[in-house]
Structure 1
Amino acid sequence: MKTSSLVLGDGIRSSARIPFTGYDFGWVVLCVGMAIGSGIVFMPVQIGLKGLYAFLTAVLLSYPAVYHLQNLFLRTLIQSEQCEDYAGAISHYLGKNWGVALGSIYFVMLLGGILTYASSITYDSASYFQTFGLTEQSLAKQGWYGLLVIALLVLISAQGERLLFKVAGPMIMVKFGIIVLLAVVMVPYWDFSNVMPLGDFATFLRDVFLTLPFALFSILYVQILNPMNIAYRKLESDRYVAAYRSVRVNRIAYIILVVAVLFFAFSFAFSVSKADAEQALAQNISALAIAAKVMPGAWVKIMSVMLNVFAIMSAFFGIYLGFHEALKGIVMNLLSRRAEQCAINQRKLGLVLTLAIVVFLWLWVLGNFSTMLILQLVGPIFGITTCLVPCYLVWKVEALRNLRGKAVYYVALYGVLLMASPFFKFFE
């Protein structure tokens, strides 16, 4: 049991003894699972391509920004009277037009993530089947395989957070353990010649900007914060208790991720050569899929496979909650302009949106678009939605004045850097 002061609005509103429950632990696990997704399994590829020094600089810029932007994003949602969806929360502050506009940007942000996970799990799993001799050719070339994978993932995700605690929770615990263990067992394979020397300053600066999105996504779980806020608001009659529990989960998950991911990143950086990274980029697969082919030892390959598949699957489960909520929020915002919200059949609408998501993701997978390129291009969207929008709300809305401070300026600056990062692709 722990005595905690709950701070919202103008000052201290409530004080309570709030235990850390299994439900809180479930959300910590989902947050960690959301972060340990394509960001961490593709990050070693970027480190191999751009060098360890560029990655370290990107981390020094990104990790403090991640804490502040997620904290700011969560607190702006917490203090909104509306807690059904992101578009509704923005509408509460700025009106329906702003709600649908910024809700659409939020939707595009989540769209980039869910497209990445859908593509990665389909192509990487097919690659593993082929690598281990279970199939002669990649199943990803078969249209039915992508549809089967996507439909199964969506079916599980659509059941809600409590089922995800049971399904994704064990996956996340396993992959977190694998990250730590794999980082340890890869130590004998360290080769410091894999660390590329520092080049000229212009190239180094370019590579830092291009690596910013990968450093960001390696510990980012902002996509699940609004579903978590909604869940706690529905669970707790006292909104200040709900707020405290959300903020506490956010802090615990962040600390866990920083320690584990940095250890993993350094170990992989010393083990993956630039040639390995270029091969992964050319084949549109993660560094772990490459590691399963080139590293000796069947058990290391098994751990790599489990980490890659579990990482992307559990991250998909987490982002689906936010993606479906964002899509529904936009549709509800538009439909409510023509009909009363109570007259809209929520169950039928949810079913239609779920089916539409399955078909759309399947068509995307069939196109076989570059996952690495998506991670770089969605940087500006994250910069706008998770950095600039919360900062604008804090500066614009008087009810959020308690959140104003130096951190807001740093988050805004980082948002600008994220928006600029893809343009450095033209200088490669």
Structure 2
Amino acid sequence: MSNTDATLVGQKAESQWRKSDTTWTLGLFGTAIGAGVLFFPIRAGYGGLIPILIMLFLAFPIAFYCHRALARLCLSGSNPSGNITETVEEHFGKTGGVVITFLYFFAICPLLWIYGVTITNTFMTFWENQLQLMPLNRGIVALFLLLLMAFVIYFGKDLMVKVMSYLVFPFIACLVLISVSLIPYWNSAVIDQVSLSDISFTGSDGILVTVWLGISIMVFSFNFSPIVSSFVVSKREEYEQDFGKQYTEDKCSKIISRASMLMVAVVMFFAFSCLFTLSPQNMAEAKAQNIPVLSYLANHFSSMSGTKSTFATTLEYGASIIALVAIFKSFFGHYLGTLEGLNGLVLKFGYKGDKTKVSGGKLNLISMVFIMGSTWVVAYANPNILDLIEAMGAPIIASLLCLLPMYAIRKTPALAKYKGKTENIFVTVIGLLTILNIVYKLI
């Protein structure tokens, strides 16, 4: 075989899209689609049509450029099998590894608090509105739900992981089905309220502030950063030795791009379908009631007068059940990451003895008591979920997803080739705007 023929064979092999690439595309997509998606339509639709159209324009760049930046950081390590912690330690020393451990823990733990509030409110609204039963004590409901999840986690973690992995795509299918089924109920209320003379760009209800806060929810809802490190390691081990690092990076970018397109298509279609079915006033009510949009839709169809369609009757009961399953799924997935992070922090800073003699079961139990205890306190306090996302969850995710890779590009020789690229400015601005939500909430 001539050199030219060998080159052509190599190029053909490189251009092939493998089954593993499709698997990872769906894996990234499935990781991002969780309970956070149920709050995005509320924030996006809260300001009406114009802000959500701007968010539609921003959605793909936020999802793609931010996750690609994190993937590039993971790819920059010298060890193809090294995860993000090892890569950061390679670039910034052990201090960097400690920072990553803190970020991972504090990026995931507030999400559990959010899900604790969400599942309590979702269950209580289903109990009172769909089942028409007497109101229950909030503290007891939250404690019961968390103890139920703790029991499942402690005695059936392996089964739980398997079940949750099977629930990802049925949940996505339900979202798509609901989005399509809502089309007959679309109305022009959100369009009728658009008045060019009344448009305000500033102020607490202005377009700029609404989009700014919406960016935080997009960072939160379109987030598959917890799995990026594992994804990059898998692709490096599969491609790097045969085709080189640049090809591996290009393949990772294509996979992230396709996962982002799928994610944006599903979530934005769901958001628009909800917005055209409800109204900005309905979204404001959902925010005030502190419930996910599916629960509000269930109550909305429950209150309809006259003869109801089969879909309306099904959604009245099914929406809350789908929301509960989605929240359980997200809670379990994030619990494992929180447990791992807290165990690491305890061993690093809270335990002075021989770490090899620490009982894994005892450590897991201590961490579980702290995680579930703090989640119960927050669930009982019932802070506004969107405010909690904007003030805690999204800013910490943004620091890991956006600002850490941008800092590494400026300081690390292995990433120097990415300096000066236009998308770096975009990713940095998104990260800063998301983090500045903390300041906005304090003012």
Asked whether the two chains share a fold, i.e. TM above 0.5, the reply is yes
How many matched pairs? 408
**Paired amino acid for 1:314:** K
Q: Is the 8 A contact 1:36 1:315 kept in 2?
A: no
Q: Pick closer, same or farther for the CA change 1:79–1:134 going to 2, 3 Å.
A: farther
Q: Tell me: CA distance 1:346–1:146, structure 2 relative to 1, closer, same or farther (3 Å).
A: closer
What whole-Å deviation, never above 9, does each CA across 1:362-410 have from its counterpart, x for those lacking one?
3332332221111111333233221111111122111233544333232
Other-structure match for 1:305? 320
Cα deviation for residue 111 of structure 1 reads 2.1
* Aligned residue type for 1:305: S
Separation in structure 2 between the aligned mates of residue 420 and residue 55 of structure 1, nearest angstrom = 21
Q: How does 1:154-303 map to 2 (within 5 A)?
A: 154-155=153-154, 158-159=157-158, 164=161, 166-195=162-191, 196-197=193-194, 199-202=199-202, 203-226=206-229, 228=231, 232=234, 250-295=256-301, 296=304, 297-303=312-318
Alignment of 1:110-189 (within 5 A): 110-133=108-131, 135-138=133-136, 140-142=138-140, 144-152=143-151, 154-155=153-154, 158-159=157-158, 164=161, 166-189=162-185
The verdict on how the C-alpha distance between 1:59 and 1:223 changes in structure 2, with shifts beyond 3 A counting, is farther
Match of 2:406 among 376, 385, 391: 391
C-alpha contact (below 8 Å) 1:380/1:418 kept by paired residues: yes
Tell me the distance in 2 between the aligned counterparts of 1:254 and 1:277. Answer: 26
Between the aligned partners of 2:114 and 2:130, the Cα distance in structure 1 is 24
TM-score, normalised with respect to structure 2: 0.78
Deviation by residue 1:178-222 (Cα, 9 ceiling, x = unmatched)? 111111111121121234425222221121112111223332221
Q: Deviation of residue 35 (structure 1)?
A: 2.1
1:115, 1:364 within 8 Å by CA — same for their partners in 2? yes
Distance in 2 (CA, whole Å) between partners of 1:52 and 1:312 is 28
Assess if the C-alpha contact under 8 Å between 1:172 and 1:310 holds in 2: no
Structure 2 unaligned spans of 5+:
1-6, 305-311
Q: 1:270 to 1:222 in 2, by over 3 A?
A: same
Aligned counterparts of 2:368 and 2:231: Cα–Cα separation in 1: 20
Say whether the 8 Å CA contact 1:382–1:418 is kept in structure 2. no
* Contact 1:178–1:303 (Cα < 8 Å) also in 2: no
Cα pair distance change 1:73/1:348, threshold 3 Å: farther
For residue 265 of structure 2, give the secondary structure of its aligned residue in structure 1: helix
Letter aligned with residue 224 of structure 1 = I
Contact 1:210/1:425 (8 A) holds in 2: no
Change (3 A) 1:154 1:119: farther
The aligned runs of 1:324-339 (5 Å cut-off) are 324-334=339-349
Aligned to 1:417: 433
Cα RMSD for the two superposed structures: 3.6
CA contact (8 A) 1:190 1:267 kept: yes
Report the CA distance between 1:240 and its aligned residue: 5.7
Say if 1:44 and 1:272, in contact at 8 Å, map to a contact too.
Answer: no
- Whether contact under 8 Å (1:122, 1:365) holds in the other structure is yes
Counterpart CA distance in 1 for 2:67 and 2:336 is 17
Deviation at 1:342, TM superposition (A): 5.8
Return the offset for 1:112: 2.4
Aligned-partner Cα distance in 1 for 2:375–2:441: 26
Equivalent AA in structure 1 for residue 416 of structure 2: R
Shift of 1:285: 0.8
- Residues of 2 paired with 1:150 and 1:332: CA distance? 25
The aligned amino acid for 1:112 is: P
1:103 to 101, 104, 108: 101
* Structure-1 separation of matches of 2:238 and 2:356: 22
Secondary structure of the structure 2 residue equivalent to 1:201: coil
Match of 2:70 among 68, 73, 81: 73
Q: Which has the larger radius of gyration?
A: 2
**Cα-to-partner distance string for 1:319-346 (whole Å, 9 max, x where unaligned):** 334333333443454479x678766665
Choose which of 388, 397, 403 in structure 2 pairs with 1:374: 388
Q: Counterpart of 1:362?
A: 376
Q: Tell me the CA shift for residue 43 of structure 1.
A: 1.7
Q: Distance in 1 between matches of 2:354 and 2:82?
A: 16
Compared CA separation, residues 144 and 113, structure 1 to 2 (3 A): closer
Q: CA deviation at 1:414?
A: 1.6
Tell me the TM-score normalised to structure 1 length: 0.81
Residues 42 and 287, structure 1, Cα contact 8 Å, conserved in 2: yes
Distance (Å, rounded) in 2 between the aligned partners of 1:426 and 1:315 = 28
In terms of mean alpha carbon deviation, does 258-267 or 295-304 score higher?
295-304
Question: Within 2, Cα distance between the matches of 1:319 and 1:364?
Answer: 16
User: 2:46 aligned with 1:32, yes or no?
Assistant: no
Which amino acid counterpart does residue 363 of structure 1 have in structure 2?
Answer: V
Residue 268 (structure 1) shift:
0.8
Structure 1 runs not aligned, ≥5 long:
6-11
Distance 1:19 1:211, change over 3 A: closer
Whether the 8 Å contact between 1:131 and 1:293 is mirrored in structure 2 is yes
2:54 to 52, 57, 72: 57
